[in-house]
Structure 1
Amino acid sequence: MSFPVRPPVSYKGEFPTYAQPAEITSYSIDHNRQVWFDDRELKYYYPPNGKDLYVGFDKFIKRDESIPEHIDTLLDALTNARQKASNPQLAQADIVTWRGIMTKIMCTPTTRNEPWMLRATRHKNTIYIEEQAMDEKKRNEADLPIKEQMQCYGGYRFETLCTLSKPPSKVQKGDPELLQRLNDSADTNIQYCVVVKTKLGKNSLIMGAEVDCSRDVKRVGEKSNPLQNYVELKTSRLIENSRHQSSFERFKLKKFWAQSFLVGVPRVICGFRDDQGLVQSVEEFKTMEIPRMVRNKPGLWEPVVCLRFANEFLDWLQTVVVEDDPTVTYIIEWKAPWHEITIRKESIPQPFITQRYIDGETSHEIGGPRVSSSTSSYKSLE
């Protein structure tokens, strides 16, 4: 079975409904990759007092991405949220996935050269989606020249230069943390994640997303909206000519907007670096104003195309991922010649839902047994 990907112009029209995202819960992953259902790893934005993005590259601690973590932490966070909530239905949705996966889907009609592969499974009428790492992508990343590795590192280093462990109101001149971050390296084992709920068209969505930092103290409660203070931190090459400008608008701004819009993050702060890895300027973009920057420019993306395509894709997915059994998985693939997205049932069962999720349990450890066919249909999530 396949889903045709038409030219972008065919997706123009009225915007589908997209509900204001609401945070369900949040959690932290520490330097040992242990999961904590609290805000201990939440960082706060504070303007950078340094420029060098390549400092500490030799001490870079990079998460071992050869170890598949699936959507384990997201599932544990949902279980924890259901246990704490007075209304467990708040943590139920038609689709459960990562924000990054929805970003790939939304950008697909205007990105015809970036393949992706997903795995999907249905359980109790919810479709769960994870990304399947592609062998070619793994090889390419492993063989990156040192210069490109340093540029990738620079993005993480920028986060180090822009964040502190305390709110800005508590930072004083000469704070030791301000000095420390000048020489700090990056550690991608550490993450702070939120889980949000929204609705696209007729499909309710729950997405997990890593959040770089907050502008203020996080407040929780019935009337609070922690999403309004979150900030995405990005880096990009310094724009020096029209070609750089076109590339930035066509590729970077599209992803900046999609990532932040999906989970209701209102601001993107970007450090523009030169070829030596020095930040030459820092600029703030308001998420909802980004589409205006590319409006009516020939050959560029439009938000309505992204949203209408994603809406149609999710509606189609509901009609093909039909077997309600978490031990049954479907492979969804987008690749050359870029005409259609294909789906097939996996011939050898490789479930990615954890058994503890089925049993309504959580763990501080990522990993653990996957659901087995003997128990998948009989345990309650409640």
Structure 2
Amino acid sequence: MFILFQELYNTNYEDLPTLDSDCMDYKNDGASFQLPEKIGHFSSDLCKKTRSREMRFDESNLSYLHLPQSCDYISLDLTEGYNHFKHINWSNASLDKLDEMLKWILKNRRSLERGDQTKPLDFDFITQRGVFTRIMCTPFVNDEWHIGFSKFKGTIYICPFFNDHDENERNFQRLNMASYGGYRFEHYITKSKYEDTYSNCDDFSSTLHEYSAVLKSKINSINNPNGYSLLYVAEVDCLKENETDSSRMENFVEIKTTNKIDSPIQNDNFHRHKSCKWWAQSKLVAIDRIICGYKEYNLTTVTSIETMNVDSIAQQAFRFWNHKNCWNFLEHFLSLAKNLMKNENDPSKVYLFSKERYSTIITCKKLLHSGNLCIIPDCISIFENISILHPEQCGSFAYSPIHVENSIK
């Protein structure tokens, strides 16, 4: 298991100019985000115990919302079965989400090619949704993040990296149970396409069955009218009840949990710490509804469920964050990265952008020898010989995102 700071210690790098996320430069950019279009999907079985993944190019893991008959005065125990699984780190980030995205690209390369060998893919940036979420929420959220950029044949590939922080046992168990509870809640209120009723509490396992959508979109601004084309993958929770059309992203919902909100202070805390990320995650995939489970009793039990309108969240949070500036900052940041890398032609080079918790400064290091931080594996060079290699021949790509992100639902 690699740790980011250790990798940097063993790597030669060049410091590049910093960016202040609190600056005024981006606030009048007038960024516009194109409604995302779903162009593909795949299913993954993620074993949390071993952190191994099995990928299939199908909809076998597509789930459907299945709410209780009454969403008030319910009692869903989020700790059910936890003693059997508490040795598993439920808050660990997956190690190979970009691997799967690259394999999907290889399988669908013929429909993505544009006939230009200097830039075979007609996309400026390729990544996963979580990267864009982190960037666009940066002016308003005090989280730490580390994001690597590499360029190959005119397209920039983006991958998140995570530090392995020392956590005391009590704090680890609190975070671990919260992450487990998020998965457990999702299990309570969804059913697979093969089930007639929602899953009961006895069939929960440490293998998560994920369904991911592949989307394309575009973001532009007043200073960049042509904009940037984006291709990204997003794990999505489930289709709405009674929906069968998985081609339309508005038919999906996100599933979340949070503390029960009983006072203005609790409402302010929700918007200050959570709502921006919830809104951004949903808008990036054109989802307009969030199913929220409210937790009580030491945060171990969901006692009510509410359906939230995503656009309403932004309207209610105006005192804490500005949704227009989220888009402005995302476009501004991508412009900075693209300009820094305009003369870059070496796909082994990684430009590492970092923001520390409670800091507004974003640093950038050009890693001269990326080593285990390499983003683009050797077999992506199939775009050199487009008719030879199949995605199965790539196996497991060489790089791995580092460690660890808290993935609390």
TM-score range, shorter chain: 0.7 to 0.9
Residue 77 of structure 1 and its aligned partner are, at CA, apart by: 1.3
Matches within 5 A, 1:195-214: 195-201=214-220, 202-214=227-239
> 1:88 corresponds to which residue?
113
> 1:2 corresponds to which residue?
17
> 1:284 corresponds to which residue?
307
Backbone CA RMSD of aligned residues: 2.8
Residue 336 of structure 1 and its aligned partner are, at CA, apart by: 5.7
Taking a change above 3 Å as real, the CA distance of residues 365 and 30 of structure 1, as seen in their structure-2 partners, is farther
Does 1:313 pair with 2:328? no
Q: Deviations over 1:53-92 (max 9, x none)?
A: 1112123465794884261001111222224x3x534963
Q: Per the alignment, in what secondary structure is the counterpart of residue 33 of structure 2?
A: coil
Does 1:270 pair with 2:296? no
Q: Separation in 2 of the partners of 1:186 and 1:341?
A: 39
Q: Separation in 2 of the partners of 1:166 and 1:8?
A: 48
Taking a change above 3 Å as real, the CA distance of residues 160 and 135 of structure 1, as seen in their structure-2 partners, is same
Partner of residue 191 from structure 1, selected from 210, 215, 221: 210
Q: Greater helix percent: which structure?
A: 1
Percent identity of equivalent pairs: 28
> 2:44 corresponds to which residue?
29
Taking a change above 3 Å as real, the CA distance of residues 80 and 286 of structure 1, as seen in their structure-2 partners, is farther
Residue 52 of structure 1 and its aligned partner are, at CA, apart by: 1.0
Residue 203 of structure 1 and its aligned partner are, at CA, apart by: 1.0
> 1:116 corresponds to which residue?
145
> 2:245 corresponds to which residue?
219
User: What amino acid maps onto 1:208 in structure 2?
Assistant: V
Higher RCO by CA contacts (8 Å cutoff, separation 6 or greater): 2
Q: Which runs of 5+ in 2 are unaligned?
A: 1-15, 48-52, 70-74, 115-119, 221-226, 383-388, 400-409
Contact 2:150–2:350 (Cα < 8 Å) also in 1: yes
Does 1:42 pair with 2:62? yes
Q: Separation in 1 of the partners of 2:261 and 2:205?
A: 25
> 1:252 corresponds to which residue?
274
Taking a change above 3 Å as real, the CA distance of residues 245 and 193 of structure 1, as seen in their structure-2 partners, is same
> 2:104 corresponds to which residue?
77
Q: Separation in 2 of the partners of 1:259 and 1:135?
A: 24
The farther-off stretch of 73-82 and 145-154 is 145-154
Q: Separation in 2 of the partners of 1:291 and 1:181?
A: 35
Residue 106 of structure 1 and its aligned partner are, at CA, apart by: 0.6
Does 1:156 pair with 2:189? no
Partner of residue 392 from structure 2, selected from 340, 351, 363: 363
Q: Per the alignment, in what secondary structure is the counterpart of residue 228 of structure 1?
A: helix
User: What amino acid maps onto 2:182 in structure 1?
Assistant: G
Taking a change above 3 Å as real, the CA distance of residues 293 and 188 of structure 1, as seen in their structure-2 partners, is farther
User: What amino acid maps onto 1:198 in structure 2?
Assistant: S
Q: Separation in 2 of the partners of 1:324 and 1:141?
A: 43
> 2:376 corresponds to which residue?
353
> 1:326 corresponds to which residue?
347
Question: How many pairs align?
Answer: 350
Partner of residue 335 from structure 1, selected from 353, 356, 374: 356
Residue 339 of structure 1 and its aligned partner are, at CA, apart by: 3.7
Q: Separation in 2 of the partners of 1:26 and 1:115?
A: 30
Q: Greater strand percent: which structure?
A: 2
Residue 22 of structure 1 and its aligned partner are, at CA, apart by: 0.4
Q: Separation in 1 of the partners of 2:21 and 2:172?
A: 36
Matches within 5 A, 1:8-23: 11-13=26-28, 15-23=30-38
Residue 237 of structure 1 and its aligned partner are, at CA, apart by: 0.6
Residue 278 of structure 1 and its aligned partner are, at CA, apart by: 1.3
Q: Separation in 2 of the partners of 1:214 and 1:159?
A: 12
Residue 332 of structure 1 and its aligned partner are, at CA, apart by: 1.1
Q: Which runs of 5+ in 1 are unaligned?
A: 371-382
Residue 270 of structure 1 and its aligned partner are, at CA, apart by: 0.5
Q: Per the alignment, in what secondary structure is the counterpart of residue 171 of structure 2?
A: coil
Q: Deviations over 1:245-303 (max 9, x none)?
A: 111122221111000101212211110011251111111112222211223x3xx0010
